[in-house]
């Protein structure tokens, strides 16, 4: 059984030879894992092979257009006007958001704000990627699609985004719908060129905190659901199942996800309210498949090897029966995760994920 068959059987609630495995990571732990296994720093495929990973991601399409926003010292900026700066910490570092060009934007400012065109992206190799990875579950998209709260917060600030959504601020709505129209067209072109070669379409919208919803169900239905539905409907025109990433406590929206045609849920932070694996499997396991549940803020980061393996076994014992589960960290493995814990985590997935 190859990886593609294994993953697609599991995500359609059938029983493969073992639970499919995925790998999400920050750069620090990724470098340490490659060193541990004697791999070159650039040998990403070699690491995926060692870990037994069944998924390959067509996540970002190269931008080839002109520079739309000015360079600033000590900053990186992309075509969307999102500025980041590198912040060091004791176990590594991360790119933090800064500048926030639209913090005080008016409708006129948004109308003139430079955004990329779908013509500015290089689609030439998307089908080549799928062909090279045809034995794996090929996932198109990423958790930043459409990602209305987080991605908008990177240029407006999170505070302004949440207030503007609540107040239906016209400048923000114009910005958001401009951005989503561009993203929808970019990924329509990708899916058309890779027709029959992609296995899963990947979306994201963080909707929860650790203790409950970030927004009301009414707001989700009125504001978020119609906009996310455009992307779900795009996938359905190509007969693709949809996986949605949502951090925090999000099970309150799962019934709506099912109605929308979403069939796989990603992240599944077990510490968040009503996100425990047993609860999710009992309440939604017949209609939703799950990708995640392995805590990046628990044993793998702060425990021993034995505790890490025990956590993996417990999740597998709950989620494995009847299919419908892919073993994955609940988010990127963080730089503070000991290398030996992550190595043990993936060894446990391969050993205890067998049917």
pLDDT tier at 185 (50, 70, 90 boundaries)?
Answer: very high
pLDDT tens digit string along 203-213?
A: 999 999 999 99
Query: What pLDDT was estimated at residue 240?
Result: 98
- 3-class state of residue 311 by DSSP: helix
Query: What pLDDT was estimated at residue 162?
Result: 97
**What is the Cα–Cα distance from 154 to 146, expressed in whole angstroms?**
13
Query: What pLDDT was estimated at residue 85?
Result: 98
Query: What pLDDT was estimated at residue 258?
Result: 98
What φ, ψ does residue 255 adopt, rounded to 5°?
Answer: -65, -40
Average pLDDT over residues 260-288: 97
DSSP output for 58-80: E--PPB-S---S---TT-EE-TT
The angle that helices 305-319 and 339-352 make with each other, rounded to 10 degrees, is 30
Average pLDDT, the chain: 97
Out of 3.10.640.10, 3.10.450.50, 3.30.559.10, 3.20.20.210, the CATH code matching 3-61+118-352 is 3.20.20.210
Average pLDDT over residues 321-327: 97
Query: What pLDDT was estimated at residue 61?
Result: 98
**What is the Cα–Cα distance from 104 to 85, expressed in whole angstroms?**
21
Query: What pLDDT was estimated at residue 124?
Result: 97
pLDDT tens digit string along 50-75?
A: 999 999 999 999 999 999 999 999 99
**What is the Cα–Cα distance from 350 to 310, expressed in whole angstroms?**
14
Average pLDDT over residues 291-296: 98
Query: What pLDDT was estimated at residue 78?
Result: 98
Query: What pLDDT was estimated at residue 111?
Result: 97
Query: What pLDDT was estimated at residue 194?
Result: 98
Average pLDDT over residues 271-294: 97
pLDDT tier at 350 (50, 70, 90 boundaries)?
Answer: very high
pLDDT tens digit string along 87-118?
A: 999 988 999 999 999 999 999 999 999 999 99
pLDDT tier at 123 (50, 70, 90 boundaries)?
Answer: very high
Average pLDDT over residues 135-152: 97
Percent of the residues in the chain that have a pLDDT greater than 70, as a whole number? 100
Query: What pLDDT was estimated at residue 188?
Result: 98
Percent of the residues in the chain that have a pLDDT greater than 90, as a whole number? 99
Average pLDDT over residues 41-53: 98
Neighbouring C-beta atoms of residue 65, cutoff 10 Å: 13
pLDDT tier at 122 (50, 70, 90 boundaries)?
Answer: very high
**What is the Cα–Cα distance from 29 to 89, expressed in whole angstroms?**
14
Average pLDDT over residues 10-23: 98
Query: What pLDDT was estimated at residue 271?
Result: 95
Average pLDDT over residues 253-280: 97
**What is the Cα–Cα distance from 166 to 292, expressed in whole angstroms?**
30
Query: What pLDDT was estimated at residue 352?
Result: 98
Average pLDDT over residues 228-233: 98
**What is the Cα–Cα distance from 265 to 72, expressed in whole angstroms?**
38
Neighbouring C-beta atoms of residue 355, cutoff 10 Å: 11
Average pLDDT over residues 255-269: 97
Give the strand pairing for 83-89 and 76-77: antiparallel
Average pLDDT over residues 15-20: 98
- 3-class state of residue 223 by DSSP: helix
């Amino acid at each position: 059984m190859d990886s593609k068959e294994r993953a697609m059987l599991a995500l359609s609630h059938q029983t493969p030879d073992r639970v499919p495995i995925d790998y999400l990571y920050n750069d620090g732990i990724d470098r340490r894992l490659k060193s541990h296994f004697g791999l070159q720093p650039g040998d990403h495929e070699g690491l995926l092979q060692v870990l037994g990973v069944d998924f390959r991601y067509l996540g970002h399409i190269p931008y080839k257009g002109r520079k739309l926003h000015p360079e600033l010292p000590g900053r990186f900026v992309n075509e969307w006007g999102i500025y980041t700066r590198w912040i060091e910490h004791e176990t590594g570092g991360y790119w933090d958001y800064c500048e926030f060009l639209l913090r005080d934007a008016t409708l006129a400012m948004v109308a003139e704000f430079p955004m990329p065109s779908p013509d500015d992206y290089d689609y030439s190799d998307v089908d080549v990627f799928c062909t090279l990875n045809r034995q794996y579950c090929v996932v198109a998209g990423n958790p930043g699609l459409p990602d209305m709260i987080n991605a908008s917060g990177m240029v407006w600030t999170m505070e302004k985004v949440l207030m503007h959504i609540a107040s239906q601020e016209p400048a923000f709505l114009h910005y958001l719908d401009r951005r989503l129209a561009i993203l929808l067209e970019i990924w329509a072109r990708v899916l058309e060129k890779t027709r029959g070669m992609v296995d899963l379409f990947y979306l994201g919208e963080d909707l929860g905190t650790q203790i409950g919803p970030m927004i009301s169900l009414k707001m989700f239905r009125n504001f978020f659901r119609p906009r996310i539905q455009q992307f779900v409907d795009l996938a359905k025109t190509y007969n693709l199942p949809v996986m949605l990433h949502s951090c925090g406590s999000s099970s309150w929206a799962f019934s709506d996800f099912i109605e929308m045609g979403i069939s796989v849920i990603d992240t599944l932070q077990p510490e968040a309210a009503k996100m425990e694996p047993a609860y999710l499997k009992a309440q939604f396991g017949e209609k939703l498949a799950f990708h995640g549940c392995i805590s990046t803020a628990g044993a793998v980061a702060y425990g021993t090897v034995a505790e890490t393996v025990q956590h993996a076994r417990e999740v597998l014992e709950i989620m494995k029966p009847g299919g419908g589960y892919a073993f994955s960290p609940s988010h990127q493995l963080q730089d503070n995760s000991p290398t030996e814990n992550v190595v043990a985590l993936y060894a446990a997935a391969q050993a205890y994920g067998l049917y």
